[in-house]
Every structure is written in C-alpha cells, then in structure tokens.
Amino acid sequence: MNASLNSADGHAFQTYVTGDDQARRGLIVLQEIFGVNAQIRDTCDRFAQQGYRVIAPALFDRRERGVELDYTAQGVQRGLELRNAIPVEQTLLDLQSCIQTLDLEHIGIVGYCWGGSLSWQAACKLDGLQAASCWYGSQIAQAAHLTPRIPVQMHFGQQDHSIPASAVQTIRSAQPQAEIYEYPEAGHGFGCQQRADFHAPSYELAQQRTLAFFDRHLR
C-alpha cells in the first residue's frame, strides 16, 4: 500500500509499505535513480515475505512526485538530474521519518545504486538503525572517511565500470570493519531483474548474504 509521511522540515512524501504490521523487524528499502518503480516494490515484497515490515520512501518527491523511470539512457539521465538536485541532508530527513514511522526495536536499511550510497550515509548519520546493506553505491568511496554507527555490509560487481577497483579498495582501506563482497562476473545493477546487467548467481548470493546479515544484527 501507499502511505504519506512528513519529514522534520515539513516535506510530505509518499512511501510504499508492505509486510505484516505486527512484524518485530523492519526494513527501509532505498531506490535506485529510477524511483519507487515496479522493481523496488517487488524487492520490498520479497523482503516482506521474510517477515519484515518494509517501507520504501519516494525520495524524488522533493523535486518531482510520482517518478517511475525505465532503464533506458533517457531514464538514467533523468534519474541523475533528479538525484543531483536533492541534497543528501534533506534525504536523510526523509529516512529518519521512515525510522520513526516503523517504530520498531530492530530496523535495517538496504539500498541499491543511489540507495546504496544513501544507506552508507544513513549508517553513519542517523539514529534508530541496527544494520545497513549497501548494494553498488557509486558515491560511497567519496564518503569513505565517515564513521558508521552500526554494522555495514557492501556488495560490488567487479565488472561495474562506474565503481572501479580503486574505489572499492579506498573503501576497504578506510572501513576495515565493514563486510565487503565483490562479485567477479557482476556489473552495475546486478541485483535488478529489470536491468541488462542483472546477474542471477551474483544476486542470489548477495541476497543470501544480506538476509543472513540482517538475521545476525536485527535480533
């Protein structure tokens, strides 16, 4: 279902919410640069089947409401324009609102692409989370100096031309305590069934690791 939330600065935004409303554990799922589209809703539903109460905030609502882009060059360009127009600190206000709305003792955050970078930011700056899983966040290396407040796991494809090996090494050097996995045959977006770079074996392994990570830390 869809629900409207308000951030601390008065911004109202939409969310996709699914899962048992009596669940003991919650997850915040963060979108790629394509909005809360069918892929993200399906991702939320998959986590909900594992017993989570799940919420996915429409992060583009700060610039344009109801955005659902496709995986074309035009979609990428529009998604980047929207992403670049929204300050990280404003987005973090939206994520804090999601944490407060879930109002659970055990809350994790997982994000993909732009959402992967935001999951790292949230792990370092927000209260109320217990674990963060970051999938192919291309902006993590630039923020690798930050100090996480919670356990963090990261996933990168070694065929991802937008995140070179040097960037992953920068993260490893700055964050030796983080769980960082690389997938030799995977490119960017390997966990998205709608993208050309989807790589089922890498996705399945990364998903297993993500679920096991949350099982350890959200208990």
Catalytic residues: 113, 160, 188
Element containing residue 122 per DSSP (H, E): helix 114-125
Per the CB < 8 A criterion, the answer to whether 167 and 182 are in contact is no
Place of tokens 């809360």: 36
Exposed, middle or buried by CB within 10 Å (0-12, 13-18, 19+), for 191?
buried
DSSP string, 54-100: EEEE-GGGGT-TT-B--SSHHHHHHHHHHHHTS-HHHHHHHHHHHHH
